[in-house]
Amino acid sequence: MVQNVVRGIKYRNLPFRLMVILLILVPIIFYKDFYQHIYSHFTGTILTSVITHQWHIVLINILIFISFLIPLSFRRKIDWKEYGLVTAFFVSLFVEMYGIPLTILFASKSIDDPVVGLADIVYEFEFLGVNIAMDVAMLYASILIVIGTIFIIAGWYTLYKNIKKVELVTTGLYAYSRHPQYFGFILIIIGWLVGWPTILTIIFALILIYKYVKVCKVEEKELAHIKEYQNYKNNVPFLI
Pick the more confident residue, 3 or 172. 172
The H-or-E segment that residue 130 falls in is: strand 130-135
Name residue 192's amino acid: W
pTM for the model stands at: 0.86
CB neighbour list of residue 45: distance below 8 Å, 6 or more residues apart: 39, 108, 111, 114, 116, 117, 118
CA angle 20, 173, 205 (to 5 degrees): 50
- pLDDT (tens digit per residue) in 49-88: 888 889 999 999 998 888 777 655 555 555 556 677 788 8
Quick check: helix, strand or coil at residue 223? coil
Integer Cα distance of 144 and 192 in angstroms = 9
* pLDDT of res. 8: 55
DSSP class of 132: E
- pLDDT (tens digit per residue) in 165-208: 767 888 889 999 999 989 999 999 999 999 999 988 999 999 98
Please state the length of the chain: 240
CB neighbour list of residue 65: distance below 8 Å, 6 or more residues apart: 90, 188
